[in-house]
Every structure is written in structure tokens, then in C-alpha cells.
Amino acid sequence: MTPIDSAPARFALFGHPVAQSLSPQIHAAFARQLSIPLQYTAIDATAEAFADLLARFAAQGGGGANVTLPLKQQATALCGSLGDGARRSGAVNTLVRNDGGWHGENTDGRGLVRDLTERHRLDLRQRRTLLIGAGGAARGVAPALLDAGIGDLFVVNRTPERTDALADALGEPGRVHPRYMDDLKAMGEFDLIVHATSATRSGSLPSLPMSLIGTRATAVDLNYGDSAIPFLAWARAAGAHDAIDGLGMLVEQAAESFRLWHGRRPATDEVYAELRQRHALLITAD
């Protein structure tokens, strides 16, 4: 898609809750780096209010937006067109104003893969992978993980219907396998485990057997800060080779969104390092 030629007046993050989001700080840092004028705000939007608030934002000159929990799947229905990642995942995290409507993209997966392969120098190829969760966050990263060359992908979720729906949407029945939480003890070891639920935001973590962790396993939580602590503590106790939170993914997906809006991709390492130092224990993630 052709990027917007000039910076629109307004950008925003929609989600619920969003008060603790780092996205405004990240985009402000990108804008300073590239000398691009930017107004970026966080708008708290429940599922019931989202469509109306987005329409109001567009009427007031909004040119682009990020979408976080719990609105990523709902956002797809508000788009006139979808990019490949959004279409395959059924979830949108980036909106671009285009010919009076919204074009939906999903940059989460590209952000995750870039963080894992370039920042953490991991080889994802042929890794037997477990994805815990089947909501908007899980949907956003699954296609990119498959494209990055992982081996078989097993998806588990508390709600079997959502697990099956995600597996169907990914469309690779020989490679993508829906399973249920009760199956975990018999599933063997994994090389990559991605935690993509919001359960730890309320202080709970699904019961996970330590037998899931293989000898070279990487455990990734798409949350960061306090919300990532329970899963990463479990992974370290189980002997994971790498335990990685979602802060790097957050910065990288934001850079992809910024590129879609402004036609230029900012450098991310300095922004990531500053956030890591200043916000190590922030509670929420996008």
C-alpha cells in the first residue's frame, strides 16, 4: 500500500485500558528522531464505544491509529480493506486512513519476528512451537511465525471454539494443530512457547506443565513488565534457554505502524534501550 504523503494531524491508540500504554512515548520518540510533527494520544475505548469513538476521531482529522486489547478483532469489521497480515489473522492493530475509509494492517507478527531474530539473534526455523491463546494478540503473531519458518504450530486456549477458529483461519491443517488446555501434559517438549493471553494482567497464569520446555526452548510473553513476570518465572524455573518479554515486539510493531503512516521506518534500538531502562516494571502491554 502507498504510504500517506504527508503526516496527518492526529494519531491515536484505541483500547481498554490504555492509561499505562507506552505507545505515545514510543511514537513521540520516533517523531523526534525523524523530525516529523506528530500528535499521538491514547483513547480509552470499550468494545461498545469503539466504533463511535473511531468515527469521531476520523471526523476530527485522524489519519491513523493503533488498536490494542480488546479491540483487534472488532477493528477488522470497521475497515474497507485489509492487508495480508490482517486478513490472515482476522485481527487489526494498525489503521491507516485511505480514501475516506480505514485500511487495516497487523504489524504485531512482523514486530515479534524482528525482535526475536534481529535483537535476540534467534533462529526460528523448524522450531516446534506452542502458542498459548487464540485472541487478537495470538492471531496477530501466528501468520508471521509461520512465515518465519517455524515447524509445527500447536494452538491452545481456554475456549476450544476460539482455538479451532484460529487454526481454521490460518489454513494449514498439516502444520497448525488445535489442542486444548487438558492436552498440555501429553504434548511433549517445545522449542518455542509464546504466551499470548491477557490472563496475567489480572494476576493469573494458566497451569502449565514444566515438561513443555525443551532443552533449547525459548519462552516469549507478548506482555512486558509486571504482566510478563508469572510466565517468564515459570519458564526460567522449567529450564528455558531464553525467556523474553514483549517490550521489544511493542517497539518493533510500533515502528512498522509508523512506517505505514509516514513512509519512513525509525531506528528502534535506542528507543528500546531507553524504555527498558525506564519502564522495566510497567504493568500493561499493547
What distances in angstroms separate CA 120 from CA 117, 145, 159, 170, 214, one per listed residue?
6, 15, 32, 26, 18
185 in catalytic set: no
Residue 250 annotated as binding site? no
- DSSP per position, 142-199: HHHHHHTT-S-EEEE-SSHHHHHHHHHHHT-TTTEEE--GGGGGGS--EEEEEE--SG
Residue 203 annotated as binding site? no
Residue 104 annotated as binding site? no
Residue 70 annotated as binding site? no
- Entry field: residues in the chain: 286
**In terms of Cα–Cα distance, which of 108, 107, 20, 13 is closest to 62?**
13
Residue 136 annotated as binding site? yes
Residue 6 annotated as binding site? no
Residue 134 annotated as binding site? yes
* Element of type H or E holding 271: helix 269-278
Which amino acid belongs to residue 62? G
- Decide if 200 contacts 231 (C-beta within 8 A): yes
Residue 206 annotated as binding site? no
Residue 75 annotated as binding site? no
* 258, β-bridge pairs: none
Which of 10, 72, 139, 195 does the annotation list as catalytic?
72
Residue 225 annotated as binding site? no
Binding-site residue ranges for NADP(+): 84, 133-137, 157-162, 222, 246
Binding-site residue ranges: 21-23, 68, 84, 93, 108, 133-137, 157-162, 222, 224, 246, 253
Active-site annotation, residues: 72
